[in-house]
Every structure is written in C-alpha cells, then in structure tokens.
Amino acid sequence: MKNHEGKTRYSRHLLLPEIGTEGQKKLAEAKVLIVGLGGLGSPLALYLAAAGVGTLGLVDFDVVEESNLQRQIIHRSCDLGKPKVASAKDRIVEVNPLVNVIGHNVMLTSQNAFDIIANYDIVADGTDSFSTRYIINDACVILGKPYIYGAVFQFEGQASVFGVKGGPCYRCFAPSTPPESYAGAGILGVVPGIIGSIQAAETIKMIVGGAKPLVGRFLHFDAWRMSFRELNLQKNPNCPACGGM
C-alpha cells in the first residue's frame, strides 16, 4: 500500500491471508464496470468502492425516482430527479474518495457495449432487462471479460459468473429470450441487497484470485423461505456465443 490512509482503511483485508497486501494491490489496480444502478447496482457499487476497487465504471441512463428508494440504497431522497450515475458517484466518493469513478450516462446497447466494456476488467450486471444481459454476455465473451450475473424477482434472487474460459456463458444458461422484464412485478427490498452483495463478493474473488467463484454454478436464493439452492451449469458446445471458444 502506498499510503497510511490505505493501510488503515483496508486493514481488515490486509489481515486476511487470502487477500493481504498483494490482493489489495490487485483490487486497487482493477477496473470494474457496473451496468445498472438500481437495487443490484447499489450494493455492488458501495461494497466494491469500500473494498478499494481502483476504478468503477457506472452505466445507467435513468434518474432517481421515489419508488427507487425502497431498495436502491445508493440513492437518497435529496437525489430525486438526479441522474442515477451522478447520484451514485456522489455516494461512492463519500464512501471512498480513493476510488476513480467514471460515469456513462447512457443506455448500454449493441452499438456502444464493446467500446465501453473494452476499458474494464470485469462487468457486473445490475440490470433488469433480458436484452441488455445478452448484450453484456456477448460482449464479455468476445472481449474475454468475466460477467458477474445477478437477477431478482419478488422474494427470489439468482447469481452466477459467466464468460470465464471453460465455463458457460449466459446464453448457455438462457438460450432463448424470456419475457422482457420483471421490473413491475414487485420486489422485497432486501433481496437485491443480498444478491448484489453476493455479486460484489464474486467480483472481489475474481480480482484477487485463489477462491472458488460461481463459474459453472447457479445460486438461487428464496428470502421468503430463507433457502439457498445451487445448480450445476454446463457449457453448451453448440452455444452461438461461446461454443467455439
């Protein structure tokens, strides 16, 4: 670590032999893109910032609305009407001023995904759009970037890691497009907090290395029954995205 503030701030990481000084240096050098700054993106951004990820890219084109505040904990009442990218950046800087924050106040599309994602090491998905997930997945597969997946619905959540060499991609898991969005179906506010925190943990593990990530593994969480289930996922050799890789 280069300065006393860093040593003090990250002291609990430095005490972990699995992370230590070298792991913290990897975190400081990492560049992570978070797509979507809602219920999942909120804990993702806050925990990755607190962990000392050196550069966080934020992608969102929406503004903060009152209905967001029940679960999107990075935003506050005073942020109503503000672009989510700007609101999230303000909170991240408050949490950790050592983090470099790059805002992308745009919708991620097939036209801009490659240009944006190419500048980052890992992409963490905080969206609720199936079409955007396919865009993220395909760009990550082609560019060789890990894709930290998360999704929530009512009382349930899912998490996995796609796009890692030898493991499945999102198209292996969901080869056909489901209904477009669950955004209007209702959600228990803590569920995206739990899944987003799992995504943050998976992101940190991918950066530091040496851990067992959710590659080839699909985690399902049910808050109402307080249960976790894990399923094995196989790479599809005929997958149109990753089958030949």
Confidence of residue 245 (pLDDT cuts 50, 70, 90): confident
Q: What is the pLDDT of residues 188-237, one digit of tens each?
A: 999 999 999 999 999 999 999 999 999 999 999 999 999 999 999 999 99
Residue 196, pLDDT score: 98
Domains of the chain: 15-232 (3.40.50.720)
The pair of three-digit structure tokens given for residue 69, joined into one six-digit string: 């505040």
Q: How far apart are CA 180 and CA 174, in angstroms?
A: 13
Sheet harboring 55-59: ordered strands across? 100-104, 55-59, 31-35, 122-125, 147-153, 156-162, 217-222, 227-232
Q: How far is CA 34 from CA 6, 77, 117, 152, in A?
A: 23, 22, 10, 16
